[in-house]
């Protein structure tokens, strides 16, 4: 049976590398990569076992729906520069705690 993993931030620099590495595990690993823009994940489409899902992971109900039934969550969401509400504390610290509460 395949292990179902949701990869938050999977279309970013590190997330794309992670997805390609996971593809080596073949059908034993099924990845779901949510993204606000499906175009950002275009290079991931050929990967076996990977599903791109158009979704905003900053929306709590959407995140809850995405994580339902997942065996694991990998949070690679991050920013390089702060801008407006997108601060390091909001994105990389507070947001990181949110998926972990649901996955227990």
Q: Where are the domains of the chain?
A: 3-102
Q: For residue 97, give the H/E element and its range.
A: helix 95-102
Query: Which residue pairs from 61-67 have beta carbons closer than 8 angstroms and sit at least 24 positions apart in sequence?
Result: 62/34, 63/98, 63/99, 63/102, 64/102, 66/6, 66/32, 66/34, 67/6, 67/99, 67/102, 67/103
pLDDT band at residue 26 using 50, 70 and 90 as cut-offs: confident
pLDDT higher than threshold 70 for residue 30: yes
pLDDT higher than threshold 60 for residue 36: yes
Please state which architecture CATH assigns to domain 3-102. Answer: 3-Layer(aba) Sandwich (3.40)
pLDDT, tens digit, 9 for 90 and up, residues 48-72: 999 999 999 888 899 899 999 999 9
* Helix/strand/coil for 44: helix
Instruction: Check if the beta carbon of residue 52 is closer than 8 Å to that of residue 35.
Output: yes
Look at the pTM and tell me if it is higher than 0.75. Answer: yes
Dihedrals phi, psi of 37, to nearest 5 degrees = -125, 110
Q: Within 13 Å and on the Cβ side, how many CA atoms surround 43? A: 11
């Amino acid at each position: 049976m395949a292990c179902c993993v949701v990869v938050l931030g999977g279309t970013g620099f590190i997330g794309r590398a992670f997805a390609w590495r996971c593809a080596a595990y073949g059908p034993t690993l099924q990845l779901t990569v949510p993204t606000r823009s499906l175009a950002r994940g275009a290079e991931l489409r050929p990967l076996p076992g990977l599903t791109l899902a158009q979704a905003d992971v900053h929306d709590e109900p959407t995140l809850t729906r995405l994580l339902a039934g997942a065996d694991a969550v990998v949070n690679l969401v991050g920013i390089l520069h702060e801008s407006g509400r997108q601060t390091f504390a909001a994105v990389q610290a507070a947001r990181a705690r949110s998926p972990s509460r649901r996955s227990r």
